[in-house]
Amino acid sequence: MLDPVIRTDRLTRYFNRRAVVRDLSLGVPRGQVTALLGLNGAGKTTTIRIIMGLLRPTRGRCEVLGQNSSGLSPEARMRIGYMVEGHYLYPGMRVSECAKFQRAGYSRWNDAQFDQIVSHFGISQSTHVAHLSRGQRAGVCLALVLAPDPELLVLDDPALGLDPVSRRALNETLVEFAADGQRTVLLSSHLLDDVERIADRVMLMIDGRLQVDTTLDDFRDRVTGYVLEADVVDPDRVAAIPGLIEARRLGCRLHLTVADADEETSAAVERLQGSSVESIDLPFTDSVLAWLSRSRQQQSFLGRKRTGEHA
CATH class assigned to 4-207: alpha beta
If pLDDT is split at 50, 70 and 90, which confidence band does 2 have?
Answer: low
Residue 127 pLDDT: 96
**Do the two domains 4-207 and 222-303 of this chain adopt the same fold?**
no
Rounded to an integer, the average pLDDT of 293-307 is 46
pLDDT at 311 over 50: no
Give per-residue pLDDT as tens, 165-179. Answer: 888 888 888 888 888
Percent of the chain with pLDDT over 70: 94
Q: List all residues 6 or more positions away from 16 whose beta carbon is below 8 Å from its beta carbon.
A: none
Rounded to an integer, the average pLDDT of 174-199 is 91
Q: List all residues 6 or more positions away from 296 whose beta carbon is below 8 Å from its beta carbon.
A: 39
pLDDT at 297 over 80: no
If pLDDT is split at 50, 70 and 90, which confidence band does 140 have?
Answer: very high
Residue 1 pLDDT: 57
Q: Contacts for 240-244 with beta carbons within 8 Å, 24 or more apart?
A: 240/268, 241/265, 241/268, 241/269, 242/268
Rounded to an integer, the average pLDDT of 149-153 is 95
pLDDT at 310 over 80: no
CATH topology of domain 222-303: Alpha-Beta Plaits (3.30.70)
3-state secondary structure the chain: CCCEEEEEEEEEEEECCEEEEEEEEEEEECCCEEEEECCCCCCHHHHHHHHCCCCCCCEEEEEECCEEHHHCCHHHHCCEEEECCCCCCCCCCEHHHHHHHHHCCCCCCCHHHHHHHHHHCCCCCCCEHHHCCHHHHHHHHHHHHHCCCCCEEEEECCCCCCCHHHHHHHHHHHHHHCCCCCCEEEEECCCHHHHHHHCCEEEEEECCEEEEEEEHHHHHHHEEEEEEECCCCCHHHHHCCCCEEEEEEECCEEEEEEECCCHHHHHHHHCCCCCEEEEECCCHHHHHHHHHHHHCHHHCHHHCCCCCCCC
* Residue 170 burial (CB count, 10 A): 24
- Average pLDDT value over all residues in the chain: 89
Residue 293 pLDDT: 86
- Beta-bridged to residue 7, according to DSSP, are 27, 63
Percent of the chain with pLDDT over 90: 68
Q: List all residues 6 or more positions away from 92 whose beta carbon is below 8 Å from its beta carbon.
A: 128, 129, 130
Give the global pTM: 0.88
Residue 10 pLDDT: 96
Give per-residue pLDDT as tens, 5-22. Answer: 999 999 999 999 999 999
Among 131, 92, 98, 101, smallest CA distance to 117 is for 98
pLDDT at 180 over 90: no
d(C-alpha 92, C-alpha 112), whole Å: 24
Residue 306 pLDDT: 35
Residue 302 pLDDT: 34
Each domain of the chain, given as residue ranges in start order, spans 4-207, 222-303
